[in-house]
Chains A and B, each alone.
Chain A
Amino acid sequence: MRSVNRQSDPSDHPRRFADWAKLIGGALLLSLVLILLMQGYAPPGPAGDVFRNNLRNRIDATPLFYTEVESLMPEE
């Protein structure tokens, strides 16, 4: 089974090259996803209503806990 923590092996250069290529490819893919998300696309109709409203009113939908939501915290 493939180990998370692999030791470098001089005879294993082609596989290491492939691994690095996968890392770069994955990073490029993530970057592409990010660029697409940054366009702020929202599906037409009701399915996109929440996204559109969030974008229009600068609502951050990512907080994991109530203390991270500014509207739920008292003024500083």
Chain B
Amino acid sequence: MFQTVRMKRLRIIALGHYKQPLIRSLHKLGVVQIVDYEGTRVHPNEVEEGLVSLHMTDLDLKTLTTQVMRMNKVLDIFEEVDPVSGDGFIKQVFRPTPPEKVPVKELDRGTLVKEAKKALSSAESEVVGPAEKLARIEKEIAEYNAQKTTLEELRPLDAPLEYIESTPVLTSWVGLLAKEDLEQIEAVLEEEAGNLFYLGASELTDEQEYAAVVVCFTKDAERVFPAIRKAGFDRIDVSGLSGTPEDALEGIEERLQGLVKEKANASEEIASISSGWRESLATLREQLNIERDRGEIQSKFAKTDTTIVVEGWIPYRYVDGLAQAVEEATDGYSVISLTDPDVPPETVPVLLDNPGIFKHFEFLTKLYSLPKYNEIDPTMLLMPTFCIFFGIMVTDAAYGFLTLLLGSFLAIGGGRYNRTIRDLGVILAAAGLATIFVGALTGGWLGDFAIEYMGLSALRSVMMLDQLAQVQLFLYLVLVVGVIHLTIGIISGILEDARHGKLKEAVFEKAWPLLALPGLALIYVGSMIPGVALAVAALAILITGHKAMFFFEITGFLGDVLSYARLMALGLCTFGIAMTVNVLADMVSSVAVVGVIAAPVVFVFGHAGNWVIQTLGGFVHGMRLHYVEFFSKFYEGGGTGFEPFVAKRSVTEEVSM
């Protein structure tokens, strides 16, 4: 319940002959986390050390990896040309299409590799031609587009580009120069080239630039070029182009259109190939990956001359199932030994185990941190208060109902195949339910809409707290809630420490509020003597536990309590904004013609927006109160998750035909 799943340290020794069946069986069972062989490092044992050595890596791994890479390559080509159309976001979340899994038989590795090879060579041979063609076409298109960009800039220039070159006598360049630089460039040319140059410019372009040709004697070129460049001449490389820019552009345009059509044809070809091969290649790839995992795991084993040694962790509840499977796989030629974990708790893998609805709230615990193996699992403590706090912060029954609906649709829609969506859906549904209750108790039904505007004063009968009229009471109530929550946290912290044998320190460090609060309460109601006694005792423990820092402990605790004031503030906020939306809608509805249409629009969008913001706020601040104020009293986290050796199947499912 408040514990993580009990783990056993596992060791299987089996006859080497049965290595593959054993691996296969464990992979299918999926309940063991296999770790690197540690054996004699943890429990020094001379006999074992002499016999055991580390297992080498599987020799087939290279083949398998190469085949997977080839498959990835082909499937990537398919994906680029003909992407798989998945569900859109909304559909994925609320009404996902069920994933279709291809049924496959159990194949031994040799057969699998052969089949994969066959499929790959066929697919590759079909696809390699069109794929290369496509790549070539795309390259040409890119080149032409680059040329196009260049030529666009030179469009106004009426010069045949094939003459822009460097001959032994003359050197010419073509490029752009800004209007204001023209004079200076001319001056530079006169200086560097004497008067032996030609500068021919086109009309001004839109960007106030001239496209120009500069010609000078080659003997001057070395001096001229840097000078004109410095003066603002922006040279453009037109090597390989011919005709005037205008003509060249036309030609390129024609070519591009032709190429685009060719590209479409090539893509279609590949698409039709993909429809034939995609499914079988994806299936084979998954099977290859599974074989690869089975191959890789071997490097964690140890071996002797005739046996193999497998070490790992297994949740206690699966032990019987494991024993049977291993027995079957190894024809009885195996020994299983189980021990309780005797290593530092940080290294034991953690699996959470909460019943029913609490399981979905593990999402929130994991978001903070998994507990260490011997630490308390706070999920069950977290669930009720999270929902209640959410309810208090939203305090509107109608909004709560919307949240409940949203959560339910998420859970039964996208949640059917996606764990995270399911968890989120359940959390929202539970929180929404709590909100309906709190909303009813505080008279929030779309703010004051139901009670004031619709006259449903019957709803007043379930009201126990008028949010607006009894604000002070509201504040005191949430502070009391905060104190209770913190107390639960402190008590949990002390119990945890007691479990680990640190009760005395725990009491002196943490227990003082447990005495101070009742003490203050007693003083408040006038019962002075017991009250003061408790308060003094609290102070004594506090100072003993914290010495000079005791003052900061008090302020820290005060800060923690005041932090819960946000429950009331946010709750009031929701109500206030809802009220405002109602007032606005009311005002708009009295406007002449458009009022009848505009008022409902204001109403719906106003409340929808308020609902979204307040729900988000309730979620986030609820989380924050738990993570910072609550967890810090008793929970550290830092555990590592249990990662079982299991076959990852997303497109296949194994059947025994």
A pairs with B: no
